[in-house]
Amino acid sequence: MNLRFNARILLATLLALVITGCATGPRVTTHAMPQVDFTAYQTFGWPEEMGTDRGGYETSITQYFKQAARREMEALGYRYVDESPDLLVNFFANAEDKQDVYTRPRMNATFATGYYGYRYGMYTAWPVYTTEVDTFNYTVGTANIDLVDAERMQLIWEGRVEGRLTERALTNPSAAISDAVAEIFAEFPTRNTRG
């Protein structure tokens, strides 16, 4: 019994390592409107209500996104202004609980007893197969950043990051948002041409 218990722990640990080893980190996707010259824009600001605001007030999540996005936009050479910006920068974030279920067959040894007792010691009867189930619960976070041409009120660029939320991300959202925003802006069309 102890050997069977240790084998079960080892198998579960190996499965967890395989799953972790396959994880490639957050997935970033972006889309830019064709023929948009991003260098023609000079300034940026925020819309009146952000996608991360709730109930008419600014959330701490919104504040974390603003700090990180301002850092990235200014690193790209854009200047923040309170009134009449060329670009509006908006955010949205969501967390969703997910569950992965893995099943695998498990062979139970059968012992000859009763009527079939004559087999005991010579050979066993057909093995009986059961199914073992491992369940993994986790949270997936998604963050979007939209850049809108303020004059035309048209979306010109969207960046999105999706990945598993770690305990660090859940307990320290400021750092997690900062990292996510940096990963999104690493794919910005002018990243290589601006300061």
DSSP symbols for 145-184: EEEEETTTTEEEEEEEEEEEPPHHHHH-HHHHHHHHHHHH
Domain at 2-185: CATH code: 3.30.160.670
What does the pLDDT look like over 42-51, one tens digit per residue?
A: 999 999 989 9
Which pLDDT band, with edges at 50, 70 and 90, does 112 fall under?
low
Which pLDDT band, with edges at 50, 70 and 90, does 19 fall under?
very low
**Whole-number Å distance between alpha carbons of 71 and 105:** 52
Which pLDDT band, with edges at 50, 70 and 90, does 65 fall under?
very high
Q: Is the pLDDT of residue 22 over 60?
A: no
Average pLDDT, the chain: 79
The encoded tokens of residue 178 equal 């900062």
CA distances from 121 to 37, 112, 113, 124, 188 (A): 81, 9, 11, 8, 71
